[in-house]
Every structure is written in structure tokens, then in C-alpha cells.
Amino acid sequence: MENLLRIYTLVLTTLIVGCNSDDNKNLNSNHSNSKYDLGLLPDIVADVEWPSEPNTTEQLLVTNDIEFQEAISVNGVSAKVLAGIYNDVNITCNDCEFILEDNAEIQGNLTFTGNHIHWVGGRVTTGPVVMNSTGDILIDNLHSITNTNGGELNNFSGPPTEWNRVAIINSTLEVINGDDSGDWALFVQGKNGTDFREKNFISANIHLESDAQNNRFQSIQNLVVVDSYFNSNITSKNN
């Protein structure tokens, strides 16, 4: 894709770089576990780290909600989730991955509490999506629609402790029926907004859409945002 606008930030420093397709030949080969071509990164974020791969030891096939609720607590699980309707999902396992069919639908919250988790595919039609892990979380090809009556946000601020290596790629996060109480399509902020306890956050090829507040990226060391769209057709309801 020609003449893409790419945004790179580190803490409070922002670089805006015009790139073309000639810059995109290297899939960040100097970065292990890279899942998306970030292009040629400027030195200020050249050491950004991708989430590490989970060490899976067991394979499961998930066909219903009972099986899903069991799988999300099994350390080392690699689960394929078939199309169907599922309730709230709080992933507490470590070193696990979940591969969802396109019509696998979560009608509730999706929460990442464990560590070293890869999530691919599926839909969330109630939401929100919450990252409450200390790190190594990769979310790929997720479509989430948070239907809120106020105060619901896709919150990736994490726990009070430091977290490291979180990436969202090839995904859409939407908020509908939001109000001015904090309905963010994506919210990432350090404790008290200033402690910089968050490290290595990658957002690549994502679409953020909200009829309230769109996004906040604050107090992050090594933040990379590329090939992404944030809706600009409305004004934040809390200005």
C-alpha cells in the first residue's frame, strides 16, 4: 500500500513518518515472534518487543460453552473453538492459545487475566474486552462490538503492577450507544496516568470506532501504531 501514514511513539515523543511499500519488505526479522510487518522502524522504537509465543502442551476442541469455560483455565492448552454462542470468557490460563472460527461469538465480556496468551479470530458482541494481565498477550483478527449504556470501555491498562508486550493486530474494536462517562474503543493508561509502567504495546492494522470516546494511549514505553484507522467523523462526547 503506497504512502501509508505511520505513527510511532515512545513515552511522550511522537514521530510521524511517511512510508511506502518499499519499506515493508522486512517482517521485522530482528524482532522475534513478529506477526505483522511494521515496516522500517525509527531508532526511538526499534527495540520494541512482540509478545512471546505460548508454550502449549495440550490440544482441545471446543464445541460448547461448558467446554470453553473449562479450557480457559488449562495451562498450556491450544484450543480450537467452533462456531457457536458463548458466555463471558475470562482467560486465566498461562501459555495458551485460542483459535476461533469466524462465527464463534462471545455474548459477554472477554478478559485476559493469565499470561502468554494468543487469541485469533471470533467475535465479541456485548463486551467489553479487558486486558488485566502482566503481559505477552497477542490478539489477532478479533471483531468486538461493545454495546454500552455508559461506563463500558475496552480497557487495556492492565493490573497495578508492570506489564510488558501486548499486541493487537488485524482487528476491529467498536463502541456503540456510548456516553460521556468513558466509553472508549481502546483505553491504555498507566496508574494515575503518569507512572509509565506499561512497556511494548503494538497496534497494527486495527480499526477503532466509537460514538463516544475513541482511544487513549498514555504512559507507555515503546508504543508503535501502524496501518490503523481511528474514526474521526464525530466529536468526543466529553470533549
Looking at the DSSP bridge assignments, the partners of residue 163 are 198
151 or 82, greater pLDDT: 82
pLDDT digits (tens, 9 = 90+) for 114-163: 999 999 999 998 878 988 898 999 999 999 887 765 556 778 877 777 88
Q: What angle do CA 4, 6, 8 make, to 5 degrees?
A: 170
Q: What average pLDDT does this structure show over 94-104?
A: 97
Quote the pLDDT of residue 16: 32
The architecture of the domain spanning 54-219 is 3 Solenoid (2.160)
State which H helix or E strand residue 70 sits in: helix 65-71
Are 208 and 178 within 8 A, CB to CB?
no
Where does residue 39 fall: left (phi above 0), alpha (psi -120 to 50 degrees), or beta otherwise? left
Using pLDDT thresholds of 50, 70 and 90, give the confidence band for residue 195.
Answer: low
79 or 39, greater pLDDT: 79
Quote the pLDDT of residue 182: 63
Q: Do you find a cis peptide bond into 128, omega within 30 degrees of 0? A: yes
Q: What average pLDDT does this structure show over 84-105?
A: 97
Domain boundaries, the chain: 54-219
Quote the DSSP letter at residue 71.
H
Q: What average pLDDT does this structure show over 16-33?
A: 44
Residue found by looking up cell 463500558 in the block: 152
Sign of CA dihedral 116, 197, 207, 227: negative
Quote the pLDDT of residue 9: 39
Proportion of the chain above pLDDT 90, given as a percent? 44
228 or 231, greater pLDDT: 228
Reply yes or no on whether the pLDDT at 196 is more than 80: no
Using pLDDT thresholds of 50, 70 and 90, give the confidence band for residue 18.
Answer: very low
**How far is Cα 212 from Cα 12, in angstroms, rounded to an integer?**
24
Q: What average pLDDT does this structure show over 75-102?
A: 97
Task: Give the number of other Cβ atoms within 10 Å of residue 209's Cβ.
Answer: 17
Where does residue 200 fall: left (phi above 0), alpha (psi -120 to 50 degrees), or beta otherwise? left
Quote the pLDDT of residue 145: 83
Are 202 and 38 within 8 A, CB to CB?
yes
Quote the pLDDT of residue 4: 39
Quote the pLDDT of residue 165: 93
Q: What is the mean pLDDT of the chain?
A: 80
C-alpha cell at 229: 484507522
Show Cβ contacts of residue 162 under 8 Å, excluding neighbours closer than 6 positions. Answer: 134, 197, 198, 199
